[in-house]
Amino acid sequence: MTVKNKTPAPIQITAEQIIGEARQLRLQKHKIAVPNPRLQKRDDEDLYRRYLAFQKQFGDKNAIDYAISWRKRFEYEDQVKKNPFNYDSWFDYTRLEESVGNTERIREIYKRAVVNVPPAEEKRYWQRYIYLWINYALFEEIDAGDIERTRNVYKECLNLIPHHKFTFSKIWLLAAQFEIRQSNLKGARRILGNAIGKAPKDKIFKKYIEMELQLGNVDRCRRLYEKYLEWSPQNCYAWIEYAELERSLSETWRARAIFDLAIGQPALDLDMPELLWKAYIDFEVAECEFEKARVLHRRLLEFNYIFPEETQRSNLKILEAAYRWKKQKLSSEF
């Protein structure tokens, strides 16, 4: 057969367009509806079977996968309806939606999940719940790429936690790290400062100090260490780390003054005094101040720890360990 008129038609129609129009006609003919996951199972089984059969016949792979996922949706809707405080069901539900990839649908499920605030202000009830907020924030930042929504999620979560009873260091630190990733150093400092003001914890102080040290803000580190020790004067590790910071800056007199303040704390207030004394002695040895180290040895052995009667044995163990350590050091020096 010879085509006489080879002039292109004014309107070009591709094979894909023809197939698409045919698919739309079939949809209209069969009147297939997408099942609603909130329907009762008895009303929905037949509709779901029809919907799945239709997608298998006319849909592509993504459409078939999407249809199959509706079965799980029915189950999760049923679970969260029976017990909205079953956070594991909400985790499963959000994972399902994330695997499908519908951003608005994922956001809707997270919003529905986080409104189920634990009924009691006890940390054990909040430990699973708080991870819904964390996952929600990570979804908004990484998957949705919505920076302002992410910021609002962290803000709402932090406002919701009863910090006067308990807190979560993790959420404070994640919020601060998020602001750092946005190059918003002022915002990160504001968050960590609020954390120290409302609910100070060792981990928050350490991370805040670490951040400022990486930025080279030594004066800020000193102020943070002062606040840290004001809040927790019994923390021997904090005293040691503060002194080590000054020593790393070649501020020997500052480091020595910090150690002197530390060993001057009442023994009952220090959690592990033997570590503090050892760190001070090692500091003087490293500075070649052997006479000062010997004086510290003698002070340690003469130091009387005032413990309750039931803890006298542990007191003796500390002194015995210090005495053995002293003999070992002296023998090594000679």
157-160, long-range: CB < 8 A, 24+ apart: 157/114, 157/130, 157/133, 158/191, 158/194, 160/117
Q: What is the pLDDT of residues 40-77, one digit of tens each?
A: 455 556 666 666 566 565 666 666 666 667 778 888 99
Query: Residue 110: pLDDT above 50?
Result: yes
Q: What is the pLDDT of residues 5-23, one digit of tens each?
A: 555 545 444 444 544 554 5
User: How confident is residue 266, by pLDDT bands cut at 50, 70 and 90?
Assistant: confident
Q: What is the pLDDT of residues 69-108, one digit of tens each?
A: 777 888 899 999 999 999 999 999 999 999 888 899 999 9
Q: What is the pLDDT of residues 270-325, one digit of tens each?
A: 677 888 899 999 999 999 999 998 998 888 887 654 444 444 444 445 455 555 65
Cα separation, 159 vs 195, in Å, equals 11
189-193, long-range: CB < 8 A, 24+ apart: 191/158
Q: What is the pLDDT of residues 140-170, one digit of tens each?
A: 999 999 999 999 999 999 999 999 999 999 9
Cα separation, 73 vs 92, in Å, equals 10
Paired tokens of 52: 């799945």
Neighbours of 162 (CB within 10 A): 12
- Residue 161 phi, psi (nearest 5): -70, 130
Cα separation, 60 vs 69, in Å, equals 14
